[in-house]
Structure 1
Amino acid sequence: MNDSQNSSTSLALDSETRASLWKLVAATIETYLRTVDELPVSPTLDVTRVRSFAESFTFEQSFAPEEAFRLIAAELIQSQVHTPHPQYFGLFNPAPTAMSIAADALVATLNPQLAAWSHSPLAAEMERHLVISIADKFGLPRGQVDGVLTSGGAEANQTALLTALAQRWPEVTLCGLRGLKEEPVFYVSAEGHHSFLKAARAAGLGASSLREIEVTDDLCIDLDSLRAAIHRDHANGHAPFLLVATAGTTGAGAIDPLPNLASLAREHGLWFHVDAAWGGAAALVPELHSVLDGIELADSITFDAHKWLSVSMGAGMFLTRHPDILSRCFATQTAYMPKESEGMQVADPFAHSLQWSRRFIGLKLFLSLAVAGWDGYAAAIRHQTEMGELLRNRLIKDKWKIVNRTPLPLVCFTDGETEWDTNTCQRIANAVVASGQAWISTIQLGKQKQPALRACITNYQTKPHHIDALLDVLNHVRRPKR
């Protein structure tokens, strides 16, 4: 066999080997999904062991396909926090829907190129349909919405910052910030997501352009402090251009007063962006929809399907009521991109977003929605909200103190009888994680940086007995036997 034949065989594999490998892959996935709740939620952290395993692959010798897959799959399963575990109460990492797993496999196989519309027109149109359908759930005006699928909320938030800049100063897309005579500034709650800090740095604005506004006792942005900051910036010759509201903060699930912020943004000519990466899914549940009142007034919205819609990482979304702004920001002409769609009423994704070549992000959400429907998703989100309420009630019954207020299933709490400092909270969280029975984290909230434990219902399969298991370990590590 010559080198060309050998390289082809080692990359594509022959059909018999592939068939055997696919069986192993499918069996591994099914076994994991069926037994994940029997595994410790988190691993023992051992840098030496995991680094040694990774470095043992010198790539000088070849493994048989099934052997390589079996070795690495077993180690990965042993060496990660199992976010699909129903006793994972951590960050917004869900158990993925079965259809999103199937979608990722199909996308990896077909490997569609979503830079040019003509390379995968159905994929591009499916994502367009998702943008319109989700925007409709938020109440954005039909017929003039636009948007794009993103790698996650950070990219969507950076897109919001860039579009807000371009809307306020159209010349910035040509001359950059050096062409501005004013110093742009923008506003985010102190409980807002730190991706906006990264976005400010990446855009060349710098961290000093971001104004973190203090919060109320409910951990929502303080309107009086915000008004004062805007007036102060105007008086000092700065140029406010963007106001960010958060609909479901990462720390405590707080929802900023969206109608008031929309009104304030209009008053001062600011782009109004709502970061609803997690909490936006409340729009799918009739009895929760009102908590997002005012989101329909947004100029743009960030939403992550890989959070509360439970599709595999990553699947973010940027939505806007300004149908031309993405093209104004990102359109470019090239000699090398395909020209087959010229003259058609379509947008090439590469000229419509920060990314160029990219994966077909939307299929996992499209297929999940096709099977579950809006009603299926509403039922899943409703169930998780009920589990959040059950967790609150169980904590109060066992003399824990709830320190956040939100209709969303995110609970921040501390001991109800003694006041804990940050170190105590971290010690308790570490003990819970080390037990392997659950995963929780710590948080510091509000102006006083109040330390607390944080537990979020991230899994649509979490049930009352999983809540009981969390309470059992919490109560045990709170008062260990002497």
Structure 2
Amino acid sequence: MQFDFDNKQRKEILEIVFEKLENYYSSTQDFKTNPDLNINKIRESLLTTDLVNGIKPEKAIQHVTNGLETFSVHTPHPKYFGLFNPRSNYAGIIADLITATYNPQLAAWSHAPFAVEVEELIIREFANKFGYDKNADGVFTTGGAEANLTAMLCALNHKYQNFAKDGVFGLDKKPVVFCSAEAHHSIQKAAKVVGIGYNLVKSIPITDELKLDTEILQQKLNELDSSIYAPLMIIGTAGTTGTGTIDELNQLSSICKKNNIWFHVDAAYGGGAILSQDLKPQLTGIEKSDSITFDAHKWMSVPMGTSIFLTSRNDILGKTFRITTEYMPKEADKLTITEPFTHSIQWSRRFIGLKVYLSLLFYGWQGYEQTINHQAKMGQYLKNQLIENGWKIKNNTDLPVVCFAKSEFETDSNFPKEILDKVLAKGKSWLSVYPINGIPTFRACITNYNTTEKEIDELINELNIEFTNYLK
């Protein structure tokens, strides 16, 4: 078949691919961190005329890899200090190749029993790591947004017995979601998707420590008009996107228990701290939650998108997603298994969990603890170097997310933008600007396990040079 190629051609194609990928993987640090965002140039580079009859594989591979190298922010770069987009570990890369080749369909247990059981094992392992008991449940998702959406659907189906049948039309009161003003915007998106609308997502102000203010939360709960509204869920964030802050999970748990409200923890980033004995205490209280979002494609350094939804309520996923069909395979009907398509938003399912399983087989939990501790250490080194060079740290977290400013220019909104533009234009480092209490600050996050003191020192030097130039 034309799609298969013969054995000799496949080997030749793979050799070309692996040579290109190995060159990039071994020399990522030599690329500019960010591209020239010339949309016309990017669109002109696409080979639209060759889509009719196709071109030789080697030319096609060269075209695609050149395009990615020229027109991408290189998140695997050791001087990418941006969002939670790490360098993929090699086990995760191999896992994606294996998954694409075998292409198992995880919708039905009987079609891919090994793959489904691998994911079940990893779910149980993480449930145990987060402090849930043996009856906990969970599922792999395509990202934190899907996991947070799953949490909201579970909360609705838990609170309203007929929600799966009647939806929002069967509700006698408007369900309200409470979260921090620093919570991820996927919460608003989830409210839009489930049909309650984002006006029912109430953002609670933060304290001076940038955590959800539990006193204001309790006040808002007390003020809620119970004839119209009913609290649905409270979301605590473990590692906010902007400042890496962890909310007071124990206090939030107490409020939820007292008011019979679903407690969800969005630990998409900060959940990785559970793998470190040094950082694990920061997540105290997460074990009391009803559900957790965790992104393995963040701190576990596996390829996008590899996320996990966990719940301490072992019946809720089935209640939320269970459905019967005539056409799905029935071979496993008499076995004590859960059919994946009845357990998730997804139907057709990729073998997402292999990226985590193979990584653990390669490196083990101990390897992950060492890596996470290294990144936390680099975060502290970055803070120390910034302070030594006259910069002021604006957030307070043990996670390697650092927001900083110059005291004398904190009210100058042009200052961070101009400095950042100069740094990005040189393409040696990538960082961002994030507002804290309305004041823009520089934000740098250690996302790469290969980032060392050397790269941090180089970043500090770049910032100091641009600051000196700004003063001229």
**Superposition TM-score tier, normalisation by shorter sequence:** over 0.9
Alignment partner of 2:21 out of 16, 29, 43: 29
Structure 1 residue 17 displacement after superposition: 1.0
AA partner of residue 174 (structure 1) = K
Structure 1 residue 441 displacement after superposition: 0.6
Note if contact 1:220-1:254 (Cα within 8 Å) is conserved in structure 2: yes
Alignment partner of 1:348 out of 339, 350, 355: 339
Structure 1 residue 473 displacement after superposition: 1.1
2:353 is equivalent to residue 323 of structure 1: no
Q: Distance in 2 between matches of 1:421 and 1:261?
A: 36
Alignment partner of 2:358 out of 361, 367, 370: 367
Structure 1 residue 60 displacement after superposition: 1.8
Q: Which residue of 1 aligns with 2:445?
A: 456
Q: Which residue of 2 aligns with 1:4?
A: none
Q: Which residue of 2 aligns with 1:87?
A: 79
Q: Which residue of 1 aligns with 2:383?
A: 392
2:92 is equivalent to residue 133 of structure 1: no
Q: Which residue of 2 aligns with 1:231?
A: 222
Alignment partner of 1:115 out of 107, 121, 126: 107
Tell me the secondary structure at the aligned position of residue 11 of structure 2.
helix
AA partner of residue 99 (structure 1) = A
- The range that moved more, 231-240 or 82-91, is 231-240
Q: Distance in 2 between matches of 1:364 and 1:137?
A: 18
Q: Which residue of 2 aligns with 1:18?
A: 10
2:231 is equivalent to residue 240 of structure 1: yes
Q: Distance in 1 between matches of 2:360 and 2:95?
A: 12
Structure 1 residue 57 displacement after superposition: 4.1
2:271 is equivalent to residue 280 of structure 1: yes
Q: Which residue of 2 aligns with 1:105?
A: 97
Deviations, residues 264-311 of structure 1 (Å, cap 9, x unaligned): 000111000000001011111111110000000010000000000000
Say what the alpha-carbon RMSD is for the aligned residues.
1.1
Structure 1 residue 444 displacement after superposition: 1.1
Tell me the secondary structure at the aligned position of residue 46 of structure 2.
helix
Q: Which residue of 2 aligns with 1:49?
A: 41
Alignment partner of 1:184 out of 175, 189, 199: 175
AA partner of residue 356 (structure 1) = W
Give the TM-score normalised by structure 2.
0.98
AA partner of residue 39 (structure 2) = V
Alignment: residue pair count: 471
Q: Distance in 2 between matches of 1:62 and 1:182?
A: 57
Note if contact 2:376-2:400 (Cα within 8 Å) is conserved in structure 1: yes
Note if contact 1:171-1:179 (Cα within 8 Å) is conserved in structure 2: yes
Q: Which residue of 1 aligns with 2:466?
A: 477
Q: Distance in 1 between matches of 2:254 and 2:357?
A: 34
Alignment partner of 1:70 out of 40, 62, 65: 62
Q: Which residue of 1 aligns with 2:368?
A: 377
- Please list every run of at least 4 consecutive aligned residues from structure 1 whose deviation after the TM superposition is greater than 6 angstroms: none
Q: Distance in 2 between matches of 1:262 and 1:351?
A: 29
Q: Distance in 2 between matches of 1:157 and 1:373?
A: 28
Q: Distance in 1 between matches of 2:428 and 2:78?
A: 10
Question: Structure 1 pair 48/182, CA: closer, same or farther in 2 (3 Å)?
Answer: same
Tell me the secondary structure at the aligned position of residue 310 of structure 2.
strand
Structure 1 residue 25 displacement after superposition: 1.1
Unpaired stretches in structure 1, ≥5 consecutive residues: 1-7
Deviations, residues 155-184 of structure 1 (Å, cap 9, x unaligned): 000000000010000111100111111111
Q: Distance in 1 between matches of 2:199 and 2:86?
A: 34
Unpaired stretches in structure 2, ≥5 consecutive residues: none
Report % sequence identity: 44
Note if contact 1:414-1:420 (Cα within 8 Å) is conserved in structure 2: no
Structure 1 residue 236 displacement after superposition: 5.7
Q: Distance in 2 between matches of 1:210 and 1:132?
A: 31
2:188 is equivalent to residue 219 of structure 1: no
Q: Distance in 2 between matches of 1:404 and 1:369?
A: 32
Note if contact 1:163-1:325 (Cα within 8 Å) is conserved in structure 2: yes
Tell me the secondary structure at the aligned position of residue 54 of structure 1.
coil
2:147 is equivalent to residue 149 of structure 1: no
AA partner of residue 461 (structure 1) = N
Note if contact 1:276-1:303 (Cα within 8 Å) is conserved in structure 2: yes
Note if contact 2:386-2:392 (Cα within 8 Å) is conserved in structure 1: yes
Q: Distance in 2 between matches of 1:420 and 1:86?
A: 31
Note if contact 2:13-2:57 (Cα within 8 Å) is conserved in structure 1: yes
Note if contact 2:105-2:351 (Cα within 8 Å) is conserved in structure 1: yes
Q: Distance in 2 between matches of 1:53 and 1:14?
A: 30
Give the TM-score normalised by structure 1.
0.96
Tell me the secondary structure at the aligned position of residue 413 of structure 1.
strand
Q: Distance in 2 between matches of 1:283 and 1:392?
A: 22
AA partner of residue 327 (structure 1) = G
Q: Distance in 1 between matches of 2:348 and 2:202?
A: 34
